[in-house]
Each structure stands twice: as structure tokens, then as C-alpha cells.
Structure 1
Amino acid sequence: MDHKTVIDEQIKVLQNLQSDNVNANIQIELKVNNAINIVNQICNLINCVIRSK
């Protein structure tokens, strides 16, 4: 997989996690877990961008 594909996939996962937190009426524990996953995805995205240079 090339870097652009990996970055695009990371962005999709991040957008889905954000949508889940914004749109869903879910338990606070799940929202916190999603927020942690969002932070992890942002870190993964940054790492992919750094590696692609």
C-alpha cells in the first residue's frame, strides 16, 4: 500500500470516529473510548505524513 492510500484510510477512520461521537447518543464510556481512538488516529495520520516525505 502506498502512503497516500494509507493516509486516505486513516482519514476515513478518523472521520467515522468523529461522526460516531458527534451524531450518536451513546454512553459516555464509549464517547471517551472513541475520543482516545481519535487521538490515536491523528497520531497515526501524522506518522504517515512524516513517512511519506
Structure 2
Amino acid sequence: MDDGDYFERGIEVAIEKDKVTFVPVDISDLFAVEVDFPEDLIRANEGF
């Protein structure tokens, strides 16, 4: 892994190296915002 990797790469490495398992959870009825940029954070905060 390096500084340019995304969150998903961390998940991939955890699975490959440590055999970590994940369970999917349906959050479709919950408020969620992916925060990549400052504008995203503003939008997320407006939802609370």
C-alpha cells in the first residue's frame, strides 16, 4: 500500500494478508454521503 491508495485497497490488503471477512449491511434506508471533497462534507453536515 502507498499514500495514493484508496480505502478499498486497504480492504483488499486485509482480505489478502489477514483473511479478514466482511458482511454486507443494507443501509439504503439511512442517510449516507461519500465524502471526497470539502463540498461533500458540507452536504453531509447539512443532512444532520
Q: Same fold (TM over 0.5)?
A: no
Q: TM-score, length-normalised on structure 2?
A: 0.31
In our comparison, the structure showing a higher alpha carbon Rg is 2
Q: TM-score, length-normalised on structure 1?
A: 0.29
Q: Relative to total residues, which structure has the larger helix share, 1 or 2? A: 1
